[in-house]
């Protein structure tokens, strides 16, 4: 139970990404036992942790983008985890910035 909760937290908080949870074969073959409490009470709401840069850091990045000759944005899976795909599209449109995505960022 504890490892399941920990892996869920690791996958969905901070920098979102995949988690490998290796289970022994005997555990996989054993019957599931229903827990007495709802899943949400263990895991909370998704995403569990929404990290955000400081206003100073955001201002610094905005200044760097504004002064760059040919800025490029490479968007990864974090764009989906953070729910910022619309903001990225708006930034791309307003600032005429080229955007490339990793496999995890496709569709942003």
- Residue spans of the domains in the chain: they are 2-43, 55-105
Confidence (pLDDT) at 48: 54
42 vs 77, more confident:
77
Instruction: Specify the 3-state DSSP secondary structure of 31.
Output: coil
Share of the chain above pLDDT 90, in %: 30
> Phi and psi dihedrals of 13, rounded to 5?
-120, 160
- How many CB atoms sit inside 10 A of residue 96's CB? 8
CB-based contact 12:48 (threshold 8 Å): yes
Decide if pLDDT at 21 tops 70. yes
Quote the CA–CA distance of 46 and 80 in Å, as a whole number: 12
pLDDT value for 53: 79
Q: What is the mean pLDDT of residues 27-47?
A: 66
Q: Is the pLDDT of residue 43 over 90?
A: no
**Range from 12-21, 74-83, 99-108 carrying the lowest mean pLDDT:** 12-21
Rounded to whole angstroms, the Cα distance separating 5 from 42 reads: 7
Query: Which tokens go with 4?
Result: 């399941």
The HSE-up count of residue 34 (CA atoms within 13 Å, CB side) is: 2
């Amino acid at each position: 139970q504890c490892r399941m909760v920990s892996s869920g937290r690791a996958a969905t908080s901070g920098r979102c990404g995949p988690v490998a949870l290796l289970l022994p074969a005997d555990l996989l073959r054993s019957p599931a036992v229903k827990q007495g409490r709802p899943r949400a009470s263990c895991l909370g709401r998704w995403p569990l942790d929404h990290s955000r840069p400081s206003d100073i850091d955001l201002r610094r990045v905005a200044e760097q983008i504004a002064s760059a000759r040919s800025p490029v944005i490479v968007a990864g899976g974090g764009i989906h985890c953070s729910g910022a795909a619309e903001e990225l599209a708006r930034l791309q449109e307003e600032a005429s910035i080229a955007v490339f995505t990793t496999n995890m960022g496709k569709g942003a």
